[in-house]
Amino acid sequence: MQIFRTKSVEQTIAETQEEGRSLKRNLGWWDLAVMGVAVAVGAGIFSVGAQAAAFHAGPAVIISFIVAGVVCGAAVMCYAEFASVMPVAGSAYTFTYATLGEFLAWIIGWDLILEMLMASSVISKYWGVYLNDFMRLIGVQWNTNIHIGSFTLDLAPIVIVAFFTILLVLGTQIGARVDGAMTILKIGVVLFVIVVGFFYVKSSNYVPFIPPSEPASDVPGATTTGTMTQPLVQWLTHHEPSIYGISGVLSGAALVFFAFIGFDVIATTSEETKNPKRNVPLGIGAGMGITIVLYVLVAVVTTGMVPYKQLASVENPSLATAFELVGASWAAKIISFAIMLGLATVVMVLLLGLTRVIFAISRDGLLPRGISKTGKRGTPAGLQIACGVVVAIVAACFPVNVLSDMVNIGTLSAFTLVAIAIPVLRKKRPDLNRSFTMPGNPWIPVLIAIANLYLMLNLTVLTWIRFLVWLVIGLIVYFAYGYNHARLGTGELDEQLLRNS
């Protein structure tokens, strides 16, 4: 079996010209930058940093954000090089198919489907939670939950998913512009909260900057108290579950990595970007820079306003918690409104990314080809609607409680393979015209892959178990259907390449 067969760059690009399965190019670099910021600066900016400070790193969560940002930034630069050579939908799946082979590409594609499906369901679910909370804070007695006997239906996720699904069906550019307007407003609110928060900062709260390591069982509210919830690297080395210290800074980096997941979604829009060789690297770089600055500033404010131990004494601490503890409870209303905006923009980008990954896999024949049909507006309308329906049903009908770690492990595994693929493609095809190149090949890409793997090892044992179960299901689907129907194996890609030439 030729499970490691690869598509050539020429075959990959030829697919984008197939009638009825091509996407329309109408996005600029600013659209891509805004998309990255839209999905990265979501509710996590108000909660993930506070939780990482309370139960992982203390004030050194600032370092955790910088580590995660540098690792992610280096990884997405690898994406930028690939996108400059192959401006095709599918992101890590497409890049892996052209370098490391079909089997690994399927694994990554299958993993990205899980990541984006569950992330979009969870985010749209929590959008409803914060919508109801915001209404309560402003005195409106209204709830989006409908109780039918013992069954509860939440209408809010259906509304937000339907809204962005319609926009994306009408055209990616329309959705991007609406998302961009909401993102600019959201950033304005975030900056306002940061400026106000600085008035409550006390330098004494940053001491000790890196708290000494201590057993997790000694800290009420810590989640790393048992085998299943401790980082895999601690379990492998037979260490007692602990938090803080240097290991806490690294496990904190693995947690806050969730903040940067949006930038692999940008690569999925390469096929819809004008002048992608220039605009994709520029959009990724600008978006990443804005995101890192915002997250570090929020971390500085959160840990400076109240001691990290005080944050740890509160269940599910957030930036709003810090304001409440210093007596500025009025900020809760503003933060709640900003979270609503943040979550809404995240939903759109994840819906877009989910659809484009499935579109690319289907166009290759690894999933049924009928899924990848595009309409008059140059969007896969049928697939977009189907994804929206599934996401809305999952979010509205089920108590979605998926850890952000599950999303993180999917992103980190994709980043790892893309980094490894850079030196592979350089060796296989040194002749390709690259408008952007990742510096330091092959050593820097290899170091990036190692850094991503190490962050994966700092995720929990339970996350790894769930990850492996999903991969087993993916293997069954691949060998039962994908391998035998792949267009690369049937020779259809070669025939299309000849027709286009």
Average pLDDT over residues 271-285: 83
Degrees to nearest 5, angle at CA 464 with 405 and 469: 115
- The amino acid occupying position 121 is S
Residue 448 clears pLDDT 50, i.e. is over it: yes
Mean pLDDT, the chain, as a whole number? 81
DSSP state of 258: G
Residue 264 clears pLDDT 50, i.e. is over it: yes
Q: Which residue has the higher pLDDT, 172 or 12?
A: 12
The two structure tokens encoding residue 176: 């991007």
Report the C-alpha gap between 470 and 256 in whole angstroms. Answer: 23
**Domain boundaries in the chain?**
9-16+28-494
Exposed, middle or buried by CB within 10 Å (0-12, 13-18, 19+), for 212? exposed
Average pLDDT over residues 278-299: 85
Residue 474 has what pLDDT?
93
Report the C-alpha gap between 156 and 392 in whole angstroms. Answer: 9
Instruction: Please report how the helices 61-85 and 44-52 are oriented relative to each other, as an axis angle in degrees rounded to 10.
Output: 130
Is omega for the bond preceding 208 within 30 degrees of 0, making it cis?
yes
- The amino acid occupying position 461 is V
Average pLDDT over residues 280-292: 84
Under the banding of pLDDT at 50, 70 and 90, the label for residue 403 is: very low
Report pLDDT digits (tens) over 69-101: 888 788 778 878 887 788 887 777 888 898 888
Alpha helix locations (H) across 16-60?
29-40, 44-52
Report pLDDT digits (tens) over 179-223: 777 778 878 878 887 888 888 999 998 988 888 877 766 555 555
The two structure tokens encoding residue 73: 């930034």
Residue 20 has what pLDDT?
78
* CB neighbours of residue 476 within 10 Å: 10
Report pLDDT digits (tens) over 374-383: 877 777 889 9
Buried b (16+ CB within 10 A) or exposed e, 267-280: bbbbbbbeebbebb
CA dihedral 314, 317, 321, 322 (to 10 degrees): 100
DSSP state of 43: T
Residue 362 has what pLDDT?
93
Tokens 């198919």 locate to 97
Report the C-alpha gap between 149 and 446 in whole angstroms. Answer: 56
DSSP state of 273: B
| pTM across the whole model | 0.77
Q: Does domain 9-16+28-494 have CATH number 1.20.1740.10?
A: yes
Return the sign of the alpha-carbon dihedral for residues 411, 81, 165, 383.
negative
Residue 231 has what pLDDT?
66
The enclosing H or E element of 152 equals strand 151-154
Q: Which residue has the higher pLDDT, 496 or 487?
A: 487
Residue 400 has what pLDDT?
53
Residue 367 has what pLDDT?
94
Return the sign of the alpha-carbon dihedral for residues 458, 463, 467, 468.
positive
Residue 458 has what pLDDT?
77
Residue 308 has what pLDDT?
83
Contact residues for 349 (Cβ-Cβ < 8 A; gap 6+): 35, 38, 39, 179, 262, 265
Report the C-alpha gap between 425 and 331 in whole angstroms. Answer: 50
The two structure tokens encoding residue 401: 């409680």
Q: Which residue has the higher pLDDT, 308 or 368?
A: 368
Plot region of 19 (φ>0 → left; ψ -120 to 50 → alpha; else → beta): beta
The two structure tokens encoding residue 359: 């579109």
Question: Among 293, 233, 234, which residue's Cα sits nearest to residue 259?
Answer: 293
Q: Are 122 and 395 in contact (CB under 8 A)?
A: yes
Give the distance, in angstroms, between the CA of residue 231 and the centroid of all CA atoms in the same chain.
20
The two structure tokens encoding residue 441: 């090949």
Residue 388 has what pLDDT?
93
Report pLDDT digits (tens) over 306-354: 888 888 887 767 777 788 888 877 777 787 777 777 778 788 888 888 9
Contact residues for 376 (Cβ-Cβ < 8 A; gap 6+): none
Residue 146 clears pLDDT 90, i.e. is over it: no
